[in-house]
Structures are given as structure tokens and as C-alpha cells.
Structure 1
Amino acid sequence: MTSNSRVLAIATETTETSDKPPKTSNPKAYLEFDFEKHMQKLLLNGAKPPKLDENSIERFAATEIMRNGKQYYEFGPDNFKTGVIISGPSFDPKGVIPRVKDRINKEHWVSEIVIQYRKNSMVNIQQIVSEALKEEQMEVYQYLRYLNENYIKK
């Protein structure tokens, strides 16, 4: 005995991306979708962003160095060296250095990017770098808010 069955095709082989959010019971998914679409309109004039290259995201880091029994810390773009004690994404890693300098007394600086600091101060340095990165993030956020407010007024 042979049986015939029919299969209902629901989608075509090529699928189009939709501007409508996917159906889900997770309300955060709608927020993320709406935010992404809003940022595309705001920053890219509605165009789709290119695929994200993970290597294009720059990072700022502090590295711990021990020389001759003295504690040093080096600041700058993260080159993924050994001894990194904190690293975070940064819009402009070189621009974070002045923010760090504002938080550490001049007497500790031995060069433009290196300080000599007391031993066992890693947590303090991590806090300083974290605050500098947060300050940069806040300025970028404030600029995006400014763009958003001016976009809405048009």
C-alpha cells in the first residue's frame, strides 16, 4: 500500500529580513529590537550597520609591572600583553590616559603612560581605570542623547 502526503510550504527558500520585531514573550527582546532600529535611524540614517568586526572594538588597559622590587603600572591601548589587571572597551583608548592622569598625583608619573605606585595597589588602580572608562562612556552616551533630541526636533 502506498500513501500520498502533501506538505504545506510555509516559507520560501529565500527569506527577507523584516522590520517587525519577532514574536516573543520576552519584553526585553522588543526593547532591544526597537533600540537597534532607533539607533540605525539616528546614526546610520536608517541603513543597516555592517557586520561587526570584533577586532575593530578598541580597548584601554592597565598593566602591572614589577622591576627592581618596585611596582609600576602602564596605561594605554590593550595589546593583550601579560600582566593586564583591567581592560575595557573604549571609543578612544588614547583619550582615556588624560582621564587617568587627572585621578593620579603627578609625583607618581615616571613617563607619559607609566606610574610608580605603592605595592599592593592593584585594586585602587583598577578603580581609577574603571572610573575613567565610565566617564568616557557617559560622554558618548550624552552625545547620543544630544543627537537623539535634535533628531526628534526635525
Structure 2
Amino acid sequence: MGANVGIHILYSGTVAAAVEAAIMGFPSIAVSFEITDQYADAGEAAKVAREVIERIIKHKLPKGSLLNVNIPSRPSNQIKGIKITRQFAHDFKETFDKRTDPSGRAYYWLMGTNKSIHREEGTDISAVNDGYISITPLRYDLTDDGLYKKIEEWDWSDLRIF
């Protein structure tokens, strides 16, 4: 549990499972619930998620499509609505918290903070922070087309590895 917005979608098992379904040709939905110290009622979030999913199913997603749904941390009567969003591509400073499991073995928990305090309108993180359900259409092709075209023009012929 926890919101899967911005760069966090790359670390998310929830989103990864939906990506796998999309790769197999199934329309897929990843649903996550933001948890905060102020509110964390997963049961109520599940009811909200069910309504959202039923609406999505009614519209029949295309094969291989992928939606990332994030529900804000608040009672359903305080959710302001739904926003269709883009992934927020923000800077993230990773830190790791060393912890110990019940068996006494050490493990590391990914922590971190956003480097940027700027919240871009129309993004998943902005919508959830403002109390809206965020629905972000995703794809698993992470190719940077602009950079692809640029490095394709580089001269690679003088490398001595061929």
C-alpha cells in the first residue's frame, strides 16, 4: 500500500504486475492508496477503487492498455473528484534506512525525498496531494525518442570493439 506516483511507479510491484498483464495483451489497472499519518482506511479506499474500476470496465479499455490509479488519503466524502494525469517526472533523492527483520537479519528500506518542491499541475502527484483520484495512462516502452534520434546520429565507426 502507498501511492505509486511519479518516479515511484518504477519501483512499484503493483504497477509491475499491471505492466506484465499489459505485455500479455490484457487491459490492466494498477490501484494504489496513499497512506498518511492522518488517514489510512484501506477498506474505504477499496470501495472507492471498486467504483472507479467498474467505471473503467464499462468503457472497455483496449487490449494491452495500462492505467495507474491512485486514491488520496482521505474519507471518500472528501475526495474532490477524478483527474486524468501525467506521471510527474521529478527529481528524487534516494536514501536507504537500515532495518532489522524479526530474524535479526539486516535489510534496507528505500526512503527519499523529492528534490523539487515544484508541483506541476496535471500530474499524478499534484492530483493526489490536492485530494483527487489520479488516473494515469502508462506504457511500458520507456524509450526516450528524442535522445534516441540524437545518439543515432553519433559516429560510432571508430570504436575498436568490432
Q: TM-score range by the shorter chain?
A: under 0.3
Q: In proportion to residue count, which structure has more strand?
A: 2
Q: In proportion to residue count, which structure has more helix?
A: 1
What is the TM-score normalised by the length of structure 2?
A: 0.25
